[in-house]
Amino acid sequence: MNSSVIVFPGSNCDRDIAVALEKMQFKNKMVWHKETKLPKSDLIVIPGGFSYGDYLRSGAIAGKSLIIDEVIKAAKSGCLILGICNGFQILTETGLLKGTLLRNRNLKFINKDVNIKVINNKTSFTSKYKLNQILKINIAHNEGNYFTDKDHLNKLKNENLIAFQYCDVNGNISDQSNPNGAVENIAGIYNSKKNILGMMPHPERMVDNLISNTDGINLFASIMN
Amino acid sequence: MQITDKIIENHGLTKDEYKNIQKLLKRNPNLLELGIFSAMWNEHCSYKSSRIHLKKLPTKGKQVIQGPGENAGVIDIGDEDAIIFKIESHNHPSYIEPYQGAATGVGGILRDVFTMGARPIALLNSIHFGSPSHPKTKSLLNGVVSGIGGYGNCIGIPTVAGETKFNETYNENILVNAMAVGHAKKSKIFYSKAKGVNKAVVYVGSKTGRDGIHGASMASAEFDENSEEKKPTVQVGDPFTEKLLLEACLELMRDDSIIAIQDMGAAGLTSSSVEMASKGLLGIELNLEKVPCREENMTPYEMMLSESQERMLIILEDGKENHAREIFKKWDLDFVVIGKTTNTGNLTLRYNDNLEGEIPISLLSSSAPIYEREFSKKRVPTDKIKIKDLKKIKLEDALLKILSSPNHSNKSWITNQYDQMVMCDTAQRSGSDAAVIRIHGKDKAIAVTVDSSANYCKSHPYTGGKQIVSENWRNLISVGAKPLAITNCLNFGNPENKEIMGEFAECLDGIKKACEFLNFPVVSGNVSFYNGTNNKNIDPTPVIGGVGLIKKLVQPINHMFKGNNNIIILIGKTFGHLEQSCYLKENYSIISGKPPEVNLINEKNNGEAVLNLINLNLISSAHDISSGGLITALSEMSIGSNFGVKIKKPKKLTSSIEYFFGEDQSRYILEINEKNLIEVEKILQSKNIYYEKIGFTQDNNFEIEGEMKISINDLFKVNNQWYNNY
Amino acid sequence: MKFAVTVTLKKDVLDPQGKVVQDTLANLGMKSLKNIRQGKFFEIEIEEKNQLKAEELINDMCKKLLVNLIIEDYKISKL
Amino acid sequence: MKFAVTVTLKKDVLDPQGKVVQDTLANLGMKSLKNIRQGKFFEIEIEEKNQLKAEELINDMCKKLLVNLIIEDYKISKL
Ligand SMILES: Nc1ncnc2c1ncn2[C@@H]1O[C@H](COP(=O)(O)OP(=O)(O)O)[C@@H](O)[C@H]1O
Ligand SMILES: [Mg+2]
């Protein structure tokens, strides 16, 4: 399978995701944001980091870059798109995903392992997980507080477009298990066609037991499937 | 312009120093030249008060590739790999503007490391604040922590370790020391020594603004009520630009375009150009109208003294200009040839062809003043504390008091604000004795940690100096790393004061002694004097940053208990030294007597034995004993793990307080699975190591037989409340 | 010509920053504070003599980059 | 009573955000843009009928929390 990782000035999880993809046997290419053509890809990843320093609004400036038009085209033709952390923020800025990521409610950067629940396991990104499986994944962000309007929220629920929700070890989804204030504890969402996934937690950080755990592996394995 | 006494004073120069400048130049300097002298001759750049003492430090060893004298120290970790690291202070700027001060401190130390060709792989920090009840402490803490995180998170380098302490000695003068650690190929290390005449001198990075002008002299002056006025010199960090600069420099470093490279740190363009030329015994000529400026109408004086961040100076090989320019263009950074190397030996400054200043480089570097300042020695304090004379406090209450104190409380409120995982090589995050970072793509790892013990150093500087190096060594051993080398940041008060200078000299003697004995050389460092306000000086606070090597990372070892019914072994002798202890300070507010003695022979033997046991995979967890003594260390091993302990009271005990809270050195606690016990004891006995089997792990409860029993959940709560309630 | 642009979060969008600021001010004893909302401010200088054209340009900048129209409102005023 | 507070970086202080925004707008084809600086904006409502007193209160808030006087300037205006 061919994957492409888009690199913006200020991306800083680009190497991490590339390592994870290669470990999972993807044929991966790094694509610099000034390029105007995408290599043939089955999966496009917009990695985490601080594209353009997160200045103005996180993801806003990267959302205007040349390569984004290509990503939008690819998305429309059904290519899988995965936006992690800053990548999720960029996807919302381009309109590929709806809603927005506000500042964490405690106004602090948060880095820790949190539990998230797999809400829909019938997608290309999650088929290898069990429904309601609880994963322990690392988060690292300033703006992870997902917000969207009522109509869209209803749509997310009705069409089963919520990918992950923050929960506690036992799977309870509550305010206490919400690290950043996201509406309905949302940690990741799909577009209607479910070929685009945006998520705040970093699955690429969870592919190696020596460093953390391997809860992220099945995300990549699902895509590979 | 007439150089008046007032101008000289404003430049932080003494009258004698000014006379010396006139004599050396054989004329009066103009204002630009005076500014340059002041920048190069101040304490921060010239090390005039510290240099003769720093010379004593051991800096050599088989593992050392480059000791002090370059932007950072370089050590060998086998194969093709080198580790490059250094620590630096940003105390004064952080007190004035905590967020930006701390952020630019991180940015500055990162440049020191990647200017030598390393990709930074870890950040550490040592931060000291005043008493929590001091009105400024809370906002300083908030600002500094978010500034450190803000910079490191954005540039994408994990902040993995550090220390945070509160003490009223820092009420008016906090300490913010940042350490960066990078990885390079041994064959691809870059130095700052210029070579060859007529080589292009290139300015890269951000534009120059008026920020930080006189920053270096500010770092060399005491605070007073007028410090507020110095505020406009505060610099703003731009981690995004630094990330671009980092990537652009590393890209250019892949081939052999660079002759020399130097970051613009304190005293910016001045010190970077002088340093490169001075090391190469060359001259350098700059055409200042070419300097990329952010503000209009900047004068040569402002350009030379600006401390704008995120800038570098590079001397390029002939014919490489276009290639290099392309790279910096790709990363949207300024790239301008602003001058060339010469054979005149002078720093020559032109602006639109007018000669604005010319100074022989040697006057700025080797002729800079060196002071052999007077100092007084400190006697070993003899006051003894008799436990019997103190109001009795229950063991459990005393422990809870320590665990809930700001200095011993769990620091996750801080460390959760730092991205510790980015780069995906952090095998042990903050919280244990040292962090462990895997070398990317390999199966070896390094361990890193920073330590200080200001009250020990205040009480008896020599012992304190020895202790702090030893503690650092112990922390590296505890995660299974072989200690290799250190960097040090020496935070002291006013060196013109005899006692302070004595603290400095004697701390260094202690550091030297321990480093020599433990084969733990100093490869880089930084001195920060004048930490104090209106003659109130901080306690001497040398901070040691250590690096160790784990040759093959199988499973990182840390301090958390791993299982039920495992044996707990205490390595090292317990005498019950309570003077200067955390027990007396937290429970009785008593700070007196001498610090615990460090027997370096025991230190080395105990440490090597523990490392050996870890390497043989015989240990489940390990932790060194430091502030708070045995019981505090044991509870740290329980908190966060799922296991408590059951500890027997030793038979020959005089006082359980002394046994459990004494801060005797060179001790470790090891958790051992029963099946390994025979083997472990055999090894310890064969090496003549003193040890005691003090109990075993158990579910749920933290228990000292006949003294106390508390659930580990309660222990956890007590230890985790302070920051959230502050 | 110089313009000021203020960007504020729409009424029904949660403003975590404003809320923390408000709580903090209340803790500092500012009792009479009723409401505070935080936004962004831009000072923009452009080379354009015709005010109408200039305003159109600024409007364009807002729509294209400065403002996230889904959650933010904005106001332009001449300085 | 309602007030607007605008907070801007002092003149000589580096504005990394403003710079990136400026470059981006230029890349988007906004040629006539000369300069852009980014700041903060607060909309504050307080319960106080006396305008002088109200302004004093707002001023107090700015000094105590909203503004970093070391690197920022601010302006208060009634809405
Ligand atoms: N306490 C110290 N111990 C060892 N070396 C030191 C110490 N202080 C400074 N040095 C060395 O002196 C040199 C100059 O230090 P410094 O001025 O801080 O460097 P920079 O100019 O890169 O900021 C460096 O090589 C540094 O490692
Ligand atoms: Mg340097």
Q: Whose CA is nearest to atom 6 of ligand 1?
A: B525
ipTM value of the model? 0.93
pLDDT in tens, C3-21: 999 999 998 888 888 888 8
pLDDT in tens, C17-66: 888 888 888 888 888 899 998 999 999 999 999 999 999 999 999 999 99
A184 is a catalytic site residue? no
Query: Given ligand 1 and candidates B177, B261, B270, B526, which is best to mutate, with the most ligand atoms within 8 Å of its CB?
Result: B526
Superfamily of domain C2-78: Phosphoribosylformylglycinamidine synthase subunit PurS (3.30.1280.10)
Q: Whose CA is nearest to atom 2 of ligand 1?
A: B525
Class assignment of domain A2-224? alpha beta
Cβ distance D23 to B211 less than 8 Å, yes or no, reads no
B192 C-beta closer than 6 A to ligand 1: no
Atom nearest to B71 CA in ligand 1: 22
Q: In the A/C pair of chains, how many CB contacts fall below 8 A?
A: 36
Share of chain C above pLDDT 70, in %: 100
Which pLDDT does position B231 carry in this prediction? 42
Which pLDDT does position B219 carry in this prediction? 52
B265 C-beta closer than 6 A to ligand 1: yes
Q: What is the pTM of this model?
A: 0.95
Distance in angstroms (rounded) separating the CA atoms of residues B513 and C61: 64
The set of residues, in sequence order, having a beta carbon less than 8 Å from that of B333 and lying 6+ positions away, is B204, B205, B206, B241, B244, B245, B248
Interface of A with D in 97-116 (CB under 8 A): none
Cα B241 to the center of its chain, rounded Å:
24
- Provide the pairing of β-strand B311-316 with B283-287: unpaired
B524 C-beta closer than 6 A to ligand 1: yes
> If you measure CA to CA, which chain C residue comes closest to A58?
C68
Cβ distance B243 to A110 less than 8 Å, yes or no, reads no
Domain ranges of chain C: 2-78
B414 C-beta closer than 6 A to ligand 1: no
Cβ distance B421 to A204 less than 8 Å, yes or no, reads no
Which pLDDT does position B221 carry in this prediction? 58
Ligand nearest B178 Cα, by number?
Answer: 1
Cβ distance D14 to B235 less than 8 Å, yes or no, reads yes
Look at residue B215 and tell me whether its pLDDT is greater than 80.
no
Which pLDDT does position B230 carry in this prediction? 44
Which pLDDT does position B226 carry in this prediction? 52
Positive or negative, the CA dihedral C57, C61, C64, C69 is negative
Secondary structure (DSSP) of chain A: -EEEEEE-TTB-SHHHHHHHHHHTT-EEEEEETT-S-PPS-SEEEE--B-GGGG-SSTTTTGGGSHHHHHHHHHHHTT-EEEEETHHHHHHHHHTSS-SEEEPPTTSS-EEEEEEEEE---SSTTTTTSPTT-EEEEEEEES--EEE--HHHHHHHHHTT-EEEEEE-TT---SGGG-SS--GGGEEEEE-TTS-EEEESSBGGGSS-TTTS-STTHHHHHHHH-
Least confident of B59-68, B209-218, B647-656: B209-218
Interface of D with A in 13-72 (CB under 8 A): 16-17, 20-21, 24, 27-28, 38
Share of chain D above pLDDT 70, in %: 100
Look at residue D38 and tell me whether its pLDDT is greater than 50.
yes
Task: Decide if A28 contacts A3 (C-beta within 8 A).
Answer: yes
Distance in Å, alpha carbon of B238 to nearest chain D alpha carbon = 6
Residues of chain A found within 8 Å of residue C65, distances taken between Cβ atoms: 56, 60-61, 64
pLDDT in tens, B648-662: 988 776 789 999 999
Distance in angstroms (rounded) separating the CA atoms of residues B629 and B614: 22
